[in-house]
Amino acid sequence: MSGASGRAVETWPRLPGLRHVVTIGNFDGIHRGHQHLLSRVTARAKELNVPSLVVTFEPHPATILRPEHAPPRIATPEEKFKRLHAAGIDEVVAIPFDRAFAALSPEEFLTLVADNVCPTDVYVGAGFRFGKMRAGDIGTIQQFGNQHGFDCHTVEPLSDEDGVISSSRLRASLLAGNVAAASKLLGRRYRLAGEVEHGMARGKDLGYPTANLNVPDGLCVPQDGIYAGYGRFDSQSNATHEALIYIGTSPTFGDRPRLVEVNILDFHGDLYGRGLEIEFVELIRGDQTFDTTEALITQMAQDETKARQVLSDTAPEPDLRGS
């Protein structure tokens, strides 16, 4: 089982007789709406003195069923599992999602749930659909639960002044570069993590050495631009540094692949091959094309000044990587 490690099992735990309070869903990003639902699950589990359990799916079902329309992920599976545990969930079952699994009828899927995790209660969000052709809904769960000894609860979505808090709304904020709005939806700042790889070293030539972050494929990368944020190395020290983050294609120097480059402020050292996590605080400006290298350097100095001003009023958030 997963316990406090932040890991998830990829098969049913098969614990006959041990009952759980269960919720089912993709939970990409673990935003405030997800947290609202999870709080109901953990409260009920505490009331009954049984473990709480999430059934989720990897990869995202859209990746298999509609790959051309699959949304970018807000979090890697590893981060999702860690954040589920940080929200108080005891166990996570990550079911490998493929076309064979997608072909299960709603009743077949619920039978797997009932036989393997013995729910006392199942909590799902309003509008939850599941099973072949999305034929199952909350009524299906309620009817099955009446026959198999568990209760079904619908949790209404959490809203703010701008509407329902959802993964799609969160992605839209990130893709527009509005990382401050994304932070409000998440209840924390957005992060990306990866390994530092070799680049063209142009930043060093300009006086702003950068670490090229190799972001895993499929993750939601914010709109091109310059951001104030923090960088955290993959090390035992857990040291966090102020950072200037660039996302874009460096149009001043011609066509280049889209990159995520990080200038760790006041840091001097070799980062190649190390893990680096970045935390987005605020968009400084959008990407631009400059007529001369000198004009770019002047603007970069202004960007650094602005970033330092922004970061002087903030602090980095806690690190979950070692939890």
pLDDT digits (tens, 9 = 90+) for 88-111: 999 999 999 999 999 999 999 999
Within this chain, do residues 43 and 124 fall inside the same structural domain, yes or no? yes
Within this chain, do residues 155 and 195 fall inside the same structural domain, yes or no? no
The C-alpha atoms of residue 93 and residue 60 are separated, in whole angstroms, by 14
As a whole number, mean pLDDT of residues 8-17 equals 65
DSSP state of 270: -
Residue 3, pLDDT > 50, answer: no
pLDDT in tens, 145-158: 999 999 999 999 99
179-186 vs 167-175: helix crossing angle, rounded to 10? 160
Q: Is there a domain that residue 227 lies in?
A: yes
Helices within 164-201 (DSSP H only): 167-175, 179-186
What is the reported pLDDT for 12? 72
Within this chain, do residues 69 and 120 fall inside the same structural domain, yes or no? yes
What is the reported pLDDT for 196? 92
Number of domains in the chain: 2
What is the reported pLDDT for 319? 78
Domain boundary at 120, 145, 163, which? Answer: 163
CATH code of the domain containing 66: 3.40.50.620
pTM: 0.91
Mean per-residue pLDDT over the chain, rounded:
91
Domain boundary at 163, 181, 201, which? Answer: 163
Domain boundary at 129, 148, 163, which? Answer: 163
Within this chain, do residues 194 and 283 fall inside the same structural domain, yes or no? yes
Within this chain, do residues 30 and 158 fall inside the same structural domain, yes or no? yes
Residue 9: pLDDT band with limits 50, 70, 90: low
Token representation of residue 212: 């090229």
As a whole number, mean pLDDT of residues 3-30 equals 76
Within this chain, do residues 141 and 25 fall inside the same structural domain, yes or no? yes
The C-alpha atoms of residue 123 and residue 39 are separated, in whole angstroms, by 11
User: Contacts for 60-69 with beta carbons within 8 Å, 24 or more apart?
Assistant: 60/26, 60/28, 60/97, 61/26, 61/97, 61/102, 63/97, 63/218, 64/97, 64/98, 64/99, 64/102, 65/99, 65/102
pLDDT in tens, 62-71: 999 999 999 9
User: Which residues sit opposite 214 in a β-bridge?
Assistant: 195
What is the reported pLDDT for 1? 35
pLDDT in tens, 252-275: 887 688 999 999 999 887 888 889
Which residue range forms the structural domain that includes residue 232?
A: 189-311
pLDDT in tens, 270-306: 888 889 999 999 999 999 999 998 999 999 999 999 9
CATH code of the domain containing 304: 2.40.30.30
Of 221, 207, 8, residue with least CA distance to 96: 8
What is the reported pLDDT for 16? 60
Q: Is there a domain that residue 118 lies in?
A: yes
Within this chain, do residues 21 and 150 fall inside the same structural domain, yes or no? yes
DSSP state of 144: H
